[in-house]
Structure 1
Amino acid sequence: MFRTALVLIARNEAGQIERLLQSIKPWVDDMLVLDTGSTDATPALAAAAGARVAHFAWCDDFAAARNAALDLANADWHVVLDADEWLISGGEALAALRHTRPDFVGSIELLDQFHDGQQQVARSRLSRVLPGQLRYAGHIHEQVIHNLPLRPLALQIGHDGYQPERLQSKKGRNKALLTLALAQRPDDAYLCYQMGKDCSVYEDYAEAEHFFARSADLLSDSPTWWADLVARRLFGLKQLKQHEAAIQFAETQLVVCAESPDFFFALGDLLLDWAADAPEQAELLLPMIEDAWRRCLEIGERPEQSGAVAGRGSHLAAHNLALVLEGTGRAEEAAAMRQAYAA
């Protein structure tokens, strides 16, 4: 038998932590909560839910805190989650770890809830189920260091840390840590991507573009998060009304992102915004907009792609396409499109 422990670091998470602990408790042998300086009831609530609670003096280093928590948990398997996450499905896969040798790293499917005019869900796969000896490196957006095989597990984890009210409570925290990390590693493309992402989340699109462009300049290949950067960059350039620069960038990505519905969704959105700002260009742009959203439907949903937003390969693209069809006198085709891709 192998011992399995939930491991998390937390600070002022009284509103969320019970949800996580109650969802995981039936499937693990232990729960370790490392409190990093809460001023609310987080430690008491965690203890009441059955977790072991320890304390850590925060030192602006996520890896240091994670590793301290892992040392205290000291299990054969560590399931590393955050307080604003919770188990949606897959408890049986966690329970099965008790009979599974810890010789691989397990990935979970994270469903990020966020609000972009309407409720959306973005999907990604993250390495969060770790053999007991593994530890992290990196002050922020820390990475687990290993050379073990990676195995996807049937675990769905929800996350609502990108909801507006949660974002405001964390505003500035990650940016400050990323600034420190980039001062030490200014040529780290991944850190530039994360800084651009953080700026974009808080609608600072000019600064986001600076870091996305920097990340793109530093890369010589296409990492798993590349399509997410491209889609976010196109959205930011649209917000900045830099349509031509965005199209020039998009043209360089047609092959690299050929199977990304998020890329073509962002491209259609960008072109539509350009057409609205320059009506004289609409006749030229409308067929391109239609082609972009039809390509989304041809590709279909790709939940395995990092940062993929649910619906961009199905009902969200179909809804936008139906509006174009109605606007160009094809009402029957629009109705059929809506029926075929009902959300």
Structure 2
Amino acid sequence: MVDPDESQSRRCVVVGCYRSGTSLVAGVLHYLGVDMGAPYKDPFFESDDLARRLRHWWTEPRLVASVARSSRRTQLSHWIETRSSKAALVGAKHPLLSLCLEDIYHEWGADTIFIWCRRELSESIASLERMQWWKDAARIQQTLHSANERFFSDHDCIEADFRSMINAPASQIQWLIGLLGLSPTGEQVEQAIDWASGGHKTFFDEPSSESDGSIANDRSPTWMATPSKIVATMLSGNSEKFVADAVKSASDWVDEICLIDTGISDATVERVKQAAGEKFSLSQFAWCNDFAAARNAALEIAAAHGAQWAMTLDTDERVEFDGIASKSELVATLNSEERVQAWMVASRDGRYQKERFIRLPATVRWQGATHEALVGCNEPERQTLLGCQFWETSKSKQGFREKLSRDLEILSQQTTADPLNARWWYYLGQTHEGLGQDAAAIEAYDRCIRLDGWPDESAWACYTAARCLTQLKEYRDAEEYCVLGMTRKPTVPELPWLAGWCCHQRGSYRDAILWCRLAAELGKKKERSHAAAFRHVPAWYEAPYDVLRFAYRELGDQANAEAAEKAYFERKRSRERMTNI
């Protein structure tokens, strides 16, 4: 649970049925200087990120929970905690938050200000029916209304009356300012009154029977989604032993499974054809030791087959759509954000994400012969698809070594051809490390570090070089790499944690304690942001306390050792609960 004292900003939440004035009130608060979570899902003053999460959690418009309460609470806590706002009041608005009121109270604290937008239930039902967003307006509105009534029968709230806001906006805004303790400028008050008096009507007026329903489409109901063809593309050599399960995991969610033969000589084609059935198609690509070229060819093949979305699927991957009800809902979600060019899907263990669905015709391209990266889209154009996850089957020792040997050949060529690109040196180091060639790995990581490119990658190269040095028992040199890494990016908790571990190994227990205290503090901040391209998640949670409990014990400080041990187990449970890693 959030401790309200940890934040300088108070919290508020705007709830109510659809068509009950929630957007009107949220707009007023926005113009009065309340941080309502921009960027917004226009024109509703709903945080774009939070709105996508809510639609997933409650499978809008079915309003059936698709994730566990613990997951909702964790995400709500992270969402509010990671908001870096100078505003005195930070808020959120969405009708579906009506279904999360207990979660919000638990995670955001008892001091949270609840604003319940009230309109006669029959009016809100009739209004939603006229908007033609969904077919069963009465059920939807009754569900939200009942949720609000239950919660607010036992909890205080500010009731914002729909008719009063429409008929007397100036006095209602002054009333809200007083209740919320706001200090807006005169200009902000004027903007809020202008919005409430008429600006909101650009989207609030209900359509006539002749309306084209363009406003309704902003809500992306599944049965009104634009039809889209999804083609899953699968690059494959010989993979007859495991490819069928990859196909089966995706076949119900796509229109076509396109196997792209890069040099098959076993029964892979037959296995895929049997698993995909009528959805099977086969294309060819002459392998040229360049994964980016192959993946770009796959995008072109999918587009040529009439797809609006290409799904990238490797033969050793399995996908699971545990929070998406149907293929039509998947299509609706993919099409819900016109700006998105690539939808990311998280790995089941939460360690990383991959670009899984790419909009066609593609405006993006893969780059890099191995460890390829998708380039050509910025952060808002690359979003996470909720309700979906994937995992990779474990490779045999021989298979893993064959992959690393292939990568070593490609990366040796890349670093020769492009020696000033830090990325290739980093992955060359990673490949050497995987092959157990620690000295060669350290040399490659060092080249990456000295090129001083992307700070995240440079800092992580310091961490991985230090990790290799620990294998050689060169603990002091490893500590120096950790220090160097902190000059590249000082917020990486893995670096002081590993430095502390190295100090402990060489008997410098007081230094170990200082490093790991720093790591523990950085880990708490990193845990809240969950923003890291490279990460060793235990270092965010229990790993610093693991060093601390033994370091304190070596110094004879039993009280602190016991406190650190207690924190170790608490943080370990927290990691396991929140990340499954």
TM class by shorter chain equals 0.7 to 0.9
1:245 equivalenced with 2:473 (yes/no) = no
Counterpart of 1:108 in structure 2 is: 344
Counterpart of 2:292 in structure 1 is: 63
1:307 equivalenced with 2:543 (yes/no) = no
One-letter code aligned to 2:445: F
Q: Distance in 1 between matches of 2:367 and 2:524?
A: 40
Identify the structure with the greater helix proportion: 2
Shift of residue 89, structure 1, vs aligned partner = 4.5
Q: Cα–Cα, structure 1 residues 14 and 213, in superposed 2: closer, same or farther, change >3 Å?
A: same
One-letter code aligned to 1:49: A
Q: Cα–Cα, structure 1 residues 24 and 336, in superposed 2: closer, same or farther, change >3 Å?
A: same
Alignment of 1:255-334 (within 5 A): 256-273=488-505, 275=506, 279=507, 282-295=508-521, 297-301=523-527, 303-329=530-556, 330=558, 332-334=562-564
Counterpart of 2:369 in structure 1 is: 139
Q: Cα–Cα, structure 1 residues 246 and 336, in superposed 2: closer, same or farther, change >3 Å?
A: closer
Shift of residue 146, structure 1, vs aligned partner = 1.8
Q: Give SS of 1:82's match.
A: coil
Q: Cα–Cα, structure 1 residues 332 and 91, in superposed 2: closer, same or farther, change >3 Å?
A: closer
Counterpart of 2:309 in structure 1 is: 77
Q: Distance in 1 between matches of 2:547 and 2:341?
A: 39
Q: Give SS of 1:141's match.
A: coil
Shift of residue 9, structure 1, vs aligned partner = 0.8
Counterpart of 1:40 in structure 2 is: 266
Alignment of 1:157-306 (within 5 A): 157-160=390-393, 164=397, 166-222=399-455, 224-254=456-486, 256-273=488-505, 275=506, 279=507, 282-295=508-521, 297-301=523-527, 303-306=530-533
Q: Cα–Cα, structure 1 residues 259 and 177, in superposed 2: closer, same or farther, change >3 Å?
A: same
1:96 equivalenced with 2:332 (yes/no) = yes
Shift of residue 261, structure 1, vs aligned partner = 2.8
Q: Is there any run of 5+ residues in structure 1 with no aligned partner, and where?
A: 113-120
Q: Cα–Cα, structure 1 residues 68 and 298, in superposed 2: closer, same or farther, change >3 Å?
A: closer
Q: Distance in 1 between matches of 2:499 and 2:534?
A: 16
Q: Cα–Cα, structure 1 residues 228 and 41, in superposed 2: closer, same or farther, change >3 Å?
A: farther
Q: Distance in 2 between matches of 1:162 and 1:257?
A: 33
Shift of residue 195, structure 1, vs aligned partner = 0.7
Counterpart selection for 1:53 from 282, 297, 300: 282
Is the Cα contact below 8 Å between 2:476 and 2:502 reproduced in 1?
A: no
Counterpart of 1:115 in structure 2 is: none
Shift of residue 198, structure 1, vs aligned partner = 1.1
Q: TM-score, normalised by structure 1?
A: 0.82
Map Cα deviations across residues 52-81 of structure 1 (whole Å, 9 max, x no partner).
233333221212222232222222111223
Is the Cα contact below 8 Å between 2:510 and 2:551 reproduced in 1?
A: no
Shift of residue 102, structure 1, vs aligned partner = 5.9
Q: Cα–Cα, structure 1 residues 253 and 228, in superposed 2: closer, same or farther, change >3 Å?
A: closer
Q: Cα–Cα, structure 1 residues 283 and 40, in superposed 2: closer, same or farther, change >3 Å?
A: same
Q: Give SS of 1:271's match.
A: helix
Is the Cα contact below 8 Å between 1:108 and 1:156 reproduced in 2?
A: no
Shift of residue 151, structure 1, vs aligned partner = 2.2
Shift of residue 242, structure 1, vs aligned partner = 3.6
Alignment of 1:14-29 (within 5 A): 14-29=240-255
One-letter code aligned to 1:105: Q
Q: Distance in 1 between matches of 2:337 and 2:504?
A: 52
Q: Distance in 2 between matches of 1:15 and 1:327?
A: 52
One-letter code aligned to 2:241: G
Q: Distance in 1 between matches of 2:442 and 2:369?
A: 23
Shift of residue 36, structure 1, vs aligned partner = 1.5
Q: Give SS of 1:57's match.
A: coil
Q: Distance in 2 between matches of 1:297 and 1:220?
A: 24
| Larger relative contact order (Cα-Cα within 8 Å, sequence gap ≥ 6) | 1
One-letter code aligned to 1:269: W
| Structure of higher CA gyration radius | 2
Is the Cα contact below 8 Å between 1:265 and 1:296 reproduced in 2?
A: no
Identify the structure with the greater strand proportion: 1
Counterpart of 1:116 in structure 2 is: none
Shift of residue 192, structure 1, vs aligned partner = 0.9
Q: Give SS of 1:25's match.
A: helix
Q: Cα–Cα, structure 1 residues 89 and 204, in superposed 2: closer, same or farther, change >3 Å?
A: farther
One-letter code aligned to 2:480: Q
Q: Distance in 1 between matches of 2:335 and 2:373?
A: 26
Tell me how large the CA RMSD over aligned residues is: 3.0
Is the Cα contact below 8 Å between 1:264 and 1:296 reproduced in 2?
A: no
Q: Distance in 1 between matches of 2:566 and 2:478?
A: 32
Q: Distance in 1 between matches of 2:419 and 2:449?
A: 13
Q: Cα–Cα, structure 1 residues 98 and 332, in superposed 2: closer, same or farther, change >3 Å?
A: closer
Q: Distance in 2 between matches of 1:169 and 1:191?
A: 19
Q: TM-score, normalised by structure 2?
A: 0.51
Q: Cα–Cα, structure 1 residues 27 and 189, in superposed 2: closer, same or farther, change >3 Å?
A: same
How many residues align structurally?
328
One-letter code aligned to 2:287: W
Q: Give SS of 2:232's match.
A: strand
Shift of residue 212, structure 1, vs aligned partner = 1.1
Q: Distance in 2 between matches of 1:319 and 1:14?
A: 44
Q: Is there any run of 5+ residues in structure 2 with no aligned partner, and where?
A: 1-226, 577-581
